[in-house]
C-alpha cells in the first residue's frame, strides 16, 4: 500500500515538475522575441533616418546636354546607372537630392571669368557648336554643367553637415578634363575641383584628396591644383591615350608635391591596377591624411568599354571603393563624395557604378 502511494506521489510530482518546466518556457521565448523585435526595430529606424544614408545627387537639367546622336557622352549613361540600381534594390536605400545651380562665387574659385563668358557667348540657339575635336556645346550645355558642379558642392555640404553618410553625383557632362580657362574632353566645368575649393574656402579644410580612376588622365584637375599643396591628386589612366600621345606625359609640374600619376599600359588588368593602388596610392594617402576624399569616378577602364584598352571589371571598382572607404574611416571621418566622370559602354557602366555605389550604401548604419 505504501509502495503504491509512493509511486502515485512520484507520478504526480513528475507531472507537476513537467508543468512547471512548461510554464518556464514562455518567458524564455518572449525574451528571444523581444530581442529580435529590438534588433529589427533598430534596423528600421536607422533605415528611416535618411541622414545616415548615401545621397544620390541628380538634376533633370543634366539630361538636356546633347553632344550629338553619335557622341558617346549621352543622357542614356545616367539612366543606365539608375535602372541598374532600381533592379538591384539599392535605389530604395538612397536619399535623392535634386542639385542646385553652382554659384558664381563657387565657379570663380576654379574658372576664369573670361572663359565662362566665352562659353556663354558661344551657346547655339539649336544644334551643336564644336569647341574642339570632341567637345560640343548645345543650347542647354552650360545649364547642365552648372547643375553638375552644383551637385558636387551640395554633396560635400551634406556630408560635412552630417546630412548624408556619403554621396554619389549622377551628373553630366563630366568635368576632369576642364581646365581653369578651357573646355576639353567632353568637359566644361571641373566638378571635383569646384567641390574641393568649396571645402577649402567654406570649411577651412587643409587636406583634400581627389582620386581619379577614369581611364583618361585628369589633366584639367592636375592643371588647376599644380601649385596648391592643400589638394592631393591621384590619377590612374591608360597611357598613351587621350589627352596624351606617346612621349607627351608631363611630370607633375608646379609646387604641389601631392600629385601622383600612375599610368597603365593597354591590356593591363586587375593585377596592374591593384598593384598601382597598393604601392602608390595607399601609401601616399596614409602620409597625406586627407580630411575629405573626392572621387572622379570614371568607369571607362572596364574591359568592355570601347574608348580604351584596359581590362578592369566591376570587381576592381568594388575593391577600390572598399579600400578608399577604409582609409576614409581612418583619416576623414568616412567623408566621401563620388562624382561621375567617364564610362560609355552602358552595360559595363551600369554594373560598375552599381558595384561602387553598393559599397557606399553599405557604409550606412543599417548594415
- List Cα–Cα distances, 107 to 13, 147, 159, 174, 204, in angstroms: 86, 12, 20, 15, 18
The 10 Å Cβ neighbour count of residue 271 is 10
Q: Contact 336/243 with Cβ under 8 angstroms?
A: no
Q: Contact 169/340 with Cβ under 8 angstroms?
A: yes
Spatial separation of the C-alpha atoms in residues 211 and 213, rounded to whole Å:
6
> Which residues carry out catalysis?
177
Question: In the structure grid, which three cell numbers stand for residue 84, read together?
Answer: 541598374
Q: Which of 52, 178, 31, 37 is nearest to 119 (CA)?
A: 178
The full 3-state SS of 308-349, as one line of letters, equals CCCCECHHHHHHHHHHHHHHHHHHCCCCEEEEECCCCCHHHH
Q: Which of 93, 176, 161 is nearest to 357 (CA)?
A: 93
Question: In the structure grid, which three cell numbers stand for residue 139, read together?
Answer: 543650347
Residues in a beta bridge with 231: 208
Q: What angle do CA 263, 266, 272 make, to 5 degrees?
A: 55
Spatial separation of the C-alpha atoms in residues 214 and 258, rounded to whole Å:
19
Spatial separation of the C-alpha atoms in residues 211 and 317, rounded to whole Å:
12
Amino acid at each position: 500500500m505504501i509502495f503504491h502511494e509512493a509511486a502515485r506521489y512520484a507520478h504526480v510530482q513528475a507531472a507537476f515538475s513537467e508543468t512547471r518546466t512548461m510554464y518556464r518556457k514562455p518567458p524564455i521565448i518572449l525574451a528571444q522575441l523581444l530581442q529580435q523585435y529590438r534588433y529589427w526595430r533598430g534596423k528600421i529606424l536607422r533605415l528611416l533616418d535618411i541622414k545616415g544614408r548615401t545621397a544620390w545627387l541628380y538634376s533633370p537639367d543634366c539630361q538636356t546636354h546633347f553632344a550629338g546622336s553619335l557622341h558617346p557622352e549621352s543622357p542614356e549613361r545616367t539612366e543606365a546607372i539608375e535602372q541598374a540600381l532600381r533592379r538591384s534594390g539599392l535605389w530604395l536605400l538612397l536619399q535623392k537630392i535634386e542639385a542646385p545651380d553652382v554659384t558664381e562665387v563657387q565657379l570663380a574659385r576654379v574658372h576664369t571669368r573670361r572663359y565662362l563668358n566665352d562659353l556663354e557667348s558661344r551657346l547655339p540657339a539649336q544644334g551643336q557648336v564644336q569647341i574642339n575635336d570632341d567637345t560640343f556645346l548645345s543650347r542647354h550645355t552650360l545649364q547642365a554643367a552648372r547643375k553638375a558642379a552644383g551637385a558636387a558642392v551640395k554633396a560635400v555640404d551634406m556630408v560635412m553637415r552630417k546630412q548624408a553618410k556619403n554621396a554619389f553625383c549622377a551628373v553630366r557632362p563630366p568635368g576632369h578634363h576642364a581646365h581653369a580657362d578651357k573646355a576639353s574632353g567632353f568637359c566644361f566645368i571641373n566638378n571635383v575641383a569646384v567641390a574641393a575649393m568649396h571645402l577649402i574656402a567654406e570649411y577651412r579644410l587643409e587636406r583634400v584628396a581627389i582620386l581619379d580612376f577614369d581611364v583618361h588622365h585628369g589633366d584639367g584637375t592636375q592643371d588647376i591644383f599644380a601649385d596648391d599643396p592643400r589638394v592631393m591628386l591621384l590619377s590612374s589612366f591608360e597611357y598613351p591615350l587621350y589627352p596624351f600621345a606617346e612621349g607627351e606625359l608631363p611630370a607633375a609640374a608646379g609646387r604641389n608635391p601631392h600629385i601622383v600619376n600612375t599610368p597603365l599600359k593597354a591590356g593591363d588588368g586587375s593585377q596592374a591596377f591593384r598593384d598601382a593602388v597598393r604601392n602608390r596610392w595607399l601609401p601616399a594617402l596614409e602620409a597625406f591624411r586627407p580630411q575629405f576624399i573626392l572621387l572622379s569616378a570614371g568607369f571607362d577602364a572596364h574591359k568592355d568599354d570601347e574608348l580604351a584598352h584596359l581590362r578592369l571589371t566591376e570587381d576592381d571598382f568594388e575593391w577600390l571603393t572598399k579600400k578608399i572607404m577604409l582609409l576614409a574611416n581612418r583619416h576623414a571621418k568616412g567623408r566621401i563624395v563620388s562624382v561621375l566622370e567617364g564610362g560609355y559602354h552602358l552595360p559595363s557602366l551600369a554594373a560598375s557604378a552599381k558595384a561602387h555605389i553598393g559599397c557606399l550604401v553599405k557604409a550606412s548604419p543599417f548594415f
